[in-house]
């Protein structure tokens, strides 16, 4: 039993909610971060080990909850398509990341 206690450490999950509805958590934030980094829904999904269709469904669900687009999509062509976050999505991602860092700092301080 002693070994188990020594291995225990705090863990947490952060969600941004609207009313009683979860809007974005770690997975959604990771998808938005990937789109911001790679400029591609497909590449962001691949980096997360998700299918493109699963990522697409996550984005549609997020847009439905927010009532506004989170990604601006560019159709493929000679140089290929792409995607970029809307200002709303950038603000949402910033808010999520800031909250996650605050919670992590607080938990780590208190766990010492």
What pLDDT, in 10s, does the model give residues 36-67? 999 999 999 999 999 999 999 999 999 999 99
Q: What's the pLDDT score for residue 8?
A: 74
Spans of the chain, pLDDT less than 50 = none
Identify the structural domains of the chain with CATH numbers, from first to last. Answer: 20-101 (1.10.10.10)
Residue 74's SS3 state is strand
| Nearest-angstrom CA–CA distance, 40 and 71 | 10
């Amino acid at each position: 039993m002693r070994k188990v206690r020594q291995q225990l450490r705090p863990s947490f999950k952060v969600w941004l909610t609207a009313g009683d509805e979860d809007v974005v958590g770690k997975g959604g934030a990771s998808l938005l971060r990937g789109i911001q980094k790679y400029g591609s829904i497909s590449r962001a999904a691949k980096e997360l080990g998700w299918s493109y269709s699963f990522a697409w469904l996550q984005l549609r669900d997020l847009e439905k909850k927010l009532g506004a687009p989170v990604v601006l999509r560019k159709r493929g062509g000679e140089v290929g398509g792409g995607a970029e976050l809307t200002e709303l999505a950038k603000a949402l991602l910033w808010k999520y990341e800031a909250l996650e860092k605050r919670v992590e700092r607080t938990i780590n301080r208190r766990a010492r």
